[in-house]
Homo-oligomer: A and B are copies of this chain.
Amino acid sequence: MNFINPLSKLISHPFLGTATPSEYSPIVLTGVLLSLIVVYIASKLGGEISRKIDLPPVLGELVAGVIVGASALHLLVFPEGGAEASNSVVIGLLQFINNLTPDAATSIFEAQSEVVSVLAEIGVIILLFEIGLESDLKELQKVGYQATVVACVGVAVPFIAGTVGLVYFFHFPVIPAIFAGAALTATSIGITSKVLSEIGQLKSREGQIIVGAAVIDDILGIIVLAVVASLAKTGEVDIVNVIYLIVSATTFLIGSILLGKFFNKSFVGIADKLQTRGNIIIPALIFAFFMAFIGNAIHLEAILGAFAAGLVLDETDKRKELDEQVKPIADILVPIFFVTVGARVDLSVLNPAIPSNREGLFIAIFLIAIAIIGKFVTGWAVFGQPGINRIAIGVGMIPRGEVGLVFAGIGAASGVLDKPLQAAIIMMVILTTFIAPPLLRVAFKEPAEPQKPVEKPVDGVTDS
Question: Is A57 engaged at the interface, CB distance under 8 Å to the other chain?
Answer: yes
Question: Is A457 engaged at the interface, CB distance under 8 Å to the other chain?
Answer: yes
CA gap between A414 and B175 in the complex, in Å:
45
CA gap between A22 and B412 in the complex, in Å:
11
CB proximity of A120 to chain B, nearest CB, Å: 10
CA gap between A352 and B116 in the complex, in Å:
43
Task: Give A262-297 as 1s and 0s: 1 = Cβ < 8 Å from B's Cβ atoms.
Answer: 000000000000111111011101100110110011
Task: Give A17-31 as 1s and 0s: 1 = Cβ < 8 Å from B's Cβ atoms.
Answer: 000011101101110
Question: Is A247 engaged at the interface, CB distance under 8 Å to the other chain?
Answer: no
Q: B276 touching A51 by the CB < 8 A rule?
A: yes
Question: Is A11 engaged at the interface, CB distance under 8 Å to the other chain?
Answer: yes
Q: A328 touching B281 by the CB < 8 A rule?
A: yes
Identify which of B22, B41, B275 contacts A80 (C-beta below 8 A): B22
Question: Is A335 engaged at the interface, CB distance under 8 Å to the other chain?
Answer: yes
CB proximity of A165 to chain B, nearest CB, Å: 27
Q: B302 touching A29 by the CB < 8 A rule?
A: yes
CB proximity of A92 to chain B, nearest CB, Å: 14
Identify which of B43, B329, B458 contacts A332 (C-beta below 8 A): B329
Q: B122 touching A331 by the CB < 8 A rule?
A: no
Question: Is A36 engaged at the interface, CB distance under 8 Å to the other chain?
Answer: yes
Identify which of B34, B79, B235, B278 contacts A15 (C-beta below 8 A): B235
Identify which of B30, B278, B302 contacts A297 (C-beta below 8 A): B30
Q: Nearest chain-B residue to A47 (Cβ)?
A: B276
- Looking at the complex, which of A107-115, A202-210, A356-364, A387-395 is the stretch in contact with chain B? A107-115
Q: A278 touching B332 by the CB < 8 A rule?
A: yes
CA gap between A332 and B297 in the complex, in Å:
24
Q: Nearest chain-B residue to A299 (Cβ)?
A: B11
CA gap between A329 and B325 in the complex, in Å:
8
Q: Which of A15, A26, A111 has the largest count of B CB atoms less than 10 A from its CB?
A: A26
Identify which of B15, B234, B279 contacts A13 (C-beta below 8 A): B234
Inter-chain contacts of A235 with B (CB < 8 A): 14-15
CB proximity of A287 to chain B, nearest CB, Å: 9
- This protein's copies in its complex: 2
Q: Interface size for chain A: under 10, 10 to 19, 20 to 34, or 35 or more residues? A: 35 or more
CB proximity of A378 to chain B, nearest CB, Å: 30
Task: Indicate whether A276 sits within 8 Å of B14 (C-beta atoms), given known contacts A37-B290, A44-B282.
Answer: no
CA gap between A97 and B298 in the complex, in Å:
9
Q: Nearest chain-B residue to A305 (Cβ)?
A: B33
CA gap between A102 and B456 in the complex, in Å:
55
Q: B115 touching A114 by the CB < 8 A rule?
A: yes
Task: Indicate whether A36 sits within 8 Å of B289 (C-beta atoms), given known contacts A115-B118, A275-B456.
Answer: yes
Q: B286 touching A41 by the CB < 8 A rule?
A: yes
Question: Is A415 engaged at the interface, CB distance under 8 Å to the other chain?
Answer: yes
CA gap between A47 and B278 in the complex, in Å:
11
Question: Is A402 engaged at the interface, CB distance under 8 Å to the other chain?
Answer: no
Q: A458 touching B277 by the CB < 8 A rule?
A: yes
Task: Indicate whether A277 sits within 8 Å of B15 (C-beta atoms), given known contacts A28-B118, A30-B296.
Answer: no
Question: Is A438 engaged at the interface, CB distance under 8 Å to the other chain?
Answer: no
Which 8 A-B pairs rank lowest in CB-CB distance, beginning with the nearest? Answer: A278-B331, A277-B460, A325-B328, A47-B276, A57-B276, A33-B289, A22-B80, A115-B118
27 intermolecular pairs with C-beta atoms under 8 Å apart: A13-B233, A21-B110, A21-B114, A22-B413, A23-B414, A25-B118, A25-B413, A26-B414, A29-B118, A29-B302, A33-B125, A33-B292, A37-B289, A37-B293, A40-B285, A40-B286, A43-B282, A44-B286, A57-B276, A111-B114, A115-B118, A275-B457, A276-B457, A276-B459, A277-B327, A281-B331, A325-B328
